[in-house]
Structures are given as structure tokens and as C-alpha cells.
């Protein structure tokens, strides 16, 4: 009997809904973390620092940085998908829209509530976005490209990239604080939790060593 050609991720319309719902939720999570004032994740430290220096919105810099990162895919021979292009175009727009709509909390309890909601929202968005199976985000593709083409372990690639953008963003005026640490500690387990519930119906393919392939291991990426 011929194997079914139906994607384990579901029908294309359902996958697109999950993709754009995930991007909208991710943008909202970014805005919640920025408005908390307690520190943002490494990439958004960079986006925020660039925004401080130029006066352009954080969302604008999310788009520009995503496009710049995609240029690095060329020597790594990474291929973008619909999800990759959508990430570059829409994530910054969703983040700016949410920043415009959300208030800036004054009380410390409200600021921490924003931070916690941000991490949960981004983790759930990761499950939706990656579960759609329409291509990695530009930053995730850079990490997996360094892994597959240069042999750099995913963990080392992620640490190298995120440490670099964190330091550069901080020097430019981005906010580093307890929220940055909370995000770093909590996002991996939370993203894995949501990916098991919102991800594809079948497990990701294993590599020759029996471990999940790099794209399956790169959680909470953009």
C-alpha cells in the first residue's frame, strides 16, 4: 500500500492558521516583555538597543535584523520556507501593534505579570509556529545552518550568537535585567511543553545517531 502523502503537520490551511497565530502571539509576547521593563531576550535586547539609537521602532528592527540574518543563510545553503519569509515580514509588525496597544505597567506586580505572560506566550507561539512545519525562523535557520554546514553543535551555535547580540544590544542601550535571565531559564522547558501539544502529529525524524535532527532541537527560535 502506498504511503500517504498527507503532511504530519495537517492540511495547508490549518498550518497557515497555526503559523500566523503563532507569529501574532510571539509578537504579543515580545511586546509584553518590553513593556515589563524587566529585561528582554537577547535578540530583543539588540532590537531595543538599535531602536534607542535610531528612533525606529523595535518592530522595524526585528524585520531588518531578520532580513540581514537571512543573508547569512546563503553561504550556509539554507532554504527558506513560507514560515521563514512570514517571520521576517510579520513578526515585527505584530510586535509593534502590540506595543502600541499595551499599557506600560507601573506597579512591580503588574510588571512581573507582564513578564510571566510574555514567556508563556512566546513558548506557546513556538509550539504553534514550529508545529506548522512551514520553515524555520531566520535566526533558527542560522543556528541549524552552522550545525549542518560547519559542524558546530546547536547549543554552542546558539550560545555564540545570542551572547554576541546580547552584549551588542546592551552596549547600544537595550534592557538587560531579571527578565532576561527568567526567559533564558524558562523558555526551553516551556517551549518543549507546548511543542509536544501543538507540534506535528508524528515525532520529528531522527538523525543517524537516533537523536532528533537539529531543527527539532532548536526550541523557541525565530
Q: How many Å apart are CA 146 and CA 123, to the nearest integer?
A: 24
pLDDT tens figures, 98-116: 999 999 999 999 999 999 9
pLDDT computed for residue 6 by the predictor: 54
pTM (two decimals)? 0.85
Q: Which residue has the cell 522595524?
A: 60
Among 40-49, 57-66, 144-153, 163-172, the range scoring the smallest mean pLDDT is: 144-153
Closest CA to 45 of 219, 172, 160, 157: 172
What average pLDDT does this structure show over 199-214? Answer: 47
pLDDT tens figures, 121-141: 999 999 998 888 898 889 888
Burial 166-175 (b: 16+ CB within 10 A, else e): beebbebebb
pLDDT computed for residue 221 by the predictor: 57
Full 3-state SS string of 140-207: HHHHHHHHHHHCCCHHHHHHHHHHHHHHHHHHHCCCCCHHHHHHHHHHHHHHHHHHHHHCCCCCCCEC
CA dihedral 205, 211, 213, 216 (to 10 degrees): 80
Q: How many Å apart are CA 13 and CA 123, to the nearest integer?
A: 22
Domain residue limits, the chain:
13-198
CA dihedral 9, 13, 18, 24 (to 10 degrees): 150
Amino acid at each position: 500500500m502506498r504511503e500517504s502523502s498527507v503532511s504530519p503537520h495537517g492540511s495547508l490551511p490549518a498550518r497557515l492558521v497555526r503559523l500566523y497565530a503563532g507569529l501574532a502571539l510571539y509578537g504579543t509576547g515580545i511586546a509584553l516583555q518590553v513593556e515589563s521593563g524587566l529585561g528582554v531576550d537577547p535578540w530583543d535586547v539588540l532590537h531595543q538597543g538599535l531602536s534607542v539609537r535610531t528612533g525606529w521602532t523595535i518592530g522595524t528592527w526585528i524585520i531588518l535584523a531578520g532580513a540581514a540574518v537571512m543573508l547569512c543563510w546563503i553561504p550556509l545553503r539554507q532554504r527558506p520556507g513560507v514560515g521563514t519569509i512570514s517571520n521576517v515580514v510579520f513578526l515585527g509588525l505584530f510586535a509593534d501593534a502590540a506595543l502600541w496597544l499595551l499599557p506600560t505597567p507601573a506597579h512591580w506586580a503588574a510588571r512581573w505579570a507582564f513578564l510571566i505572560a510574555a514567556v508563556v506566550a512566546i513558548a506557546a507561539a513556538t509550539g504553534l509556529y514550529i508545529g506548522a512545519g512551514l520553515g524555520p525562523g531566520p535566526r533558527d535557520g542560522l543556528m541549524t545552518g552552522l550545525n549542518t554546514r560547519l559542524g558546530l553543535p546547536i547549543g554552542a551555535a546558539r550560545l555564540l550568537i545570542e551572547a554576541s547580540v546580547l552584549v551588542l544590544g546592551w552596549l547600544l542601550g537595550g534592557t538587560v535585567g531579571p527578565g532576561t535571565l527568567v526567559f533564558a531559564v524558562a523558555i526551553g522547558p516551556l517551549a518543549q511543553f507546548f511543542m509536544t501539544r501543538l507540534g506535528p502529529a508524528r515525532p520529528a525524524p531522527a538523525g543517524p545517531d537516533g537523536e532528533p535532527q537539529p531543527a527539532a532541537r532548536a526550541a523557541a527560535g525565530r
